Chains A and B, each alone.
Chain A
């Protein structure tokens, strides 16, 4: 049973959410990983999803991407969300611009790819091979490949986890810029509390197959979140003394 539903094409751009998940159930055989999960991400909204390793973050993201079947509930998502994985997944046999334009239906694919690569600071490497890139550069190309499709929903599964701390901070700035320019709804899966605080409009913590905690409005600093509180929610430090 595949409950992936395409959005109404008549939906105006500003209004309407980028994705709505209701009572989602996802199991591997008899092992239920996601149970009655509800989630709604607006257009242009940046949501970070935290949760301890193995709690089902990737499973949720794959379901949203339409990569796996679901066993219950409903997902209303754009026909083709863009995904950036932890590994860059560049095709080693294609030049950078061919990688970025993979699956792009539009004419002038090379020009569109060139623009996207320029946006991530690699506009002078169109014809280079992926093997000549550093980890951070490769991940930037993966971001360009995702954004060139003009997605309404951008799914990021720990895309910076393998990068060194300095590169990661640069990537944060880049992502913030790109999202501001393109305004997709974003779900960023991460295990990095500081990354979530730095980037998200809203932070979710996943536990026992559902959203267990939510914190809203951060980027303007209006409702600062306590790092300790988040770490408590993640079960890293004890929530209250005694």
Chain B
């Protein structure tokens, strides 16, 4: 299998496919995270936005996002847009829910202290609300990384012309078990890497937190 990996890597196709997959995941993640965080901040702060957005989001969330795949294919066809959209869809919800939850959980006594110290609304958000919501938001990021990956595997298994999933499907046609196993290993490695990124973010951004930060 290692030999297979080297052979594919030498041909340039493995790195190429890996790059394509990572790019799709990153684009989908960025879009989904931006949408989820924006909606989450709106709903977290405003009762009006909550009334307008939250119920519909909760309803859509009840659908397993992979069930939307046929619909997405009808809308966007089988291509880059469809894959990125599916990843973004899977990422949006965990980010949204945990952002709202995090903002809601900020200690009202600390918010009151902010008022006592004369903070403006913007300073209140930057100094108290965002850091207070950060543990929950990062939990969302961790979930989102997992769903992004799952979405990508599914999307690439269906009609891709490149990417790790395509590599696997292509190998299936030719009964190349070694290549299939290789792609599974690569998926696993990237999953581990994503988890490491989440852990790194937690250690950096939650250094103050007794459950995450390194002692100092």
Known A67-B115, A102-B117, A103-B118; judge A92-B109 contact (CB<8 A).
no
**Which single member of B117, B132, B208, B210 contacts A145 (CB below 8 Å)?**
B117
Give, as a whole number of angstroms, the nearest-CB distance from B117 to chain A: 3
User: Cβ of A89 and Cβ of B208 under 8 Å apart?
Assistant: no
Number of A-B contacts (CB under 8 A): 47
Q: CB within 8 A of B208: which of A87, A102, A129?
A: A129
Find the A residue at minimum CB distance from B210: A131
Q: In A53-95, which residues have CB < 8 Å from any B CB?
A: 65, 67, 80, 82-83, 85, 87, 89, 91-94
Contact between A103 and B117 (Cβ–Cβ < 8 Å)?
A: yes
Q: Which residues of A contact B206 (CB under 8 A)?
A: 93
Given contacts A67-B112, A102-B127, A129-B216, contact A92 B208 (CB under 8 A): yes
Is the CB–CB distance between B127 and A91 below 8 Å? yes
The answer to whether B119 touches A91 (Cβ under 8 A) is: no
Q: Which residues of B contact A82 (CB under 8 A)?
A: 116
Minimum distance in angstroms from A152 CB to a CB of chain B: 14
Is the C-beta of B123 less than 8 angstroms from some C-beta in chain A? yes
Q: Is B81's CB within 8 Å of the partner chain A? A: no
Interface residues in A, total, Cβ within 8 A? 18
Residue from B114, B123, B208 in contact with A131 in the complex, judged by beta carbons closer than 8 Å: B208
Enumerate chain B residues within 8 angstroms of A80, measured Cβ to Cβ.
Answer: 116, 118
Measured between beta carbons, the chain B residues less than 8 angstroms from A92 are 208-209
Q: B110 contacts A91, CB within 8 Å?
A: yes
Contact A91 B116 (CB under 8 A): no
Main secondary structure of the interface of A (DSSP, over half): loop
Query: In the complex, how many angstroms separate the beta carbon of A162 from the nearest chain B beta carbon?
Result: 14
Contact of B119 among A87, A103, A131 (CB under 8 A): A103
Q: Is chain B's interface secondary structure helix, strand, loop, or mixed overall? A: helix
The answer to whether B53 has its CB under 8 Å from any CB of chain A is: no
Given the complex, which residues of B lie within 8 Å of A145, measured CB to CB? Answer: 117
Docked Cα-Cα span, A230 to B208, in Å, equals 45
Within 8 A of A (CB), among B83-139: 109-110, 112-119, 123, 127-128, 131-132, 134
Instruction: Give the nearest-CB partner of A145 in chain B.
Output: B117
Q: How far is the CB of A133 from chain B (nearest CB, A)?
A: 13
**Known contacts A80-B118, A83-B116, A131-B210; A93/B216 CB under 8 A:** no
Please give, as numbers and ranges, the residues of chain B lying within 8 Å of A89 by CB-CB distance. 109-110, 112-113
A64 to B125 CA separation, bound complex (whole angstroms): 25
Contacts of B119 in A (CB 8 A): 102-103
Closest A-chain residue to B107, C-beta based? A89
Residues on B with C-beta less than 8 A from A94 are 127, 131, 208
Docked CA distance A83–B112 (Å): 11
CA distance A242 to B175 in the complex (A): 104
Task: Assess whether A67 is in contact with B116, with CB atoms less than 8 Å apart.
Answer: yes
Q: How far is the CA of A94 from the CA of B127 in the complex (A)?
A: 9
Contacts of B209 in A (CB 8 A): 92-93
Chain A, Cβ-Cβ closest to B115: A67
Report A-chain residues with C-beta under 8 Å of the C-beta of B131: 91, 93-94
Return the chain A residue nearest B113 by Cβ.
A89
> When chains A and B are docked, how far (Å) is the Cα of A94 from the Cα of B216?
14
Task: Knowing that A92-B208, A93-B134 touch, tell me 10 more A-B residue pairs with CB under 8 angstroms.
Answer: A65-B116, A80-B116, A89-B112, A94-B127, A94-B208, A102-B114, A102-B127, A129-B216, A131-B208, A149-B117
B-side residues, CB < 8 A to A, are 109-110, 112-119, 123, 127-128, 131-132, 134, 206, 208-210, 216
The 10 residue pairs across chains A and B that have the minimum distance between CB atoms: A103-B117, A93-B131, A93-B208, A89-B113, A103-B118, A83-B116, A102-B117, A80-B118, A103-B119, A129-B208
10 contacts between A and B (CB under 8 A): A80-B116, A89-B109, A91-B127, A93-B134, A94-B127, A102-B119, A103-B117, A129-B208, A145-B117, A149-B117
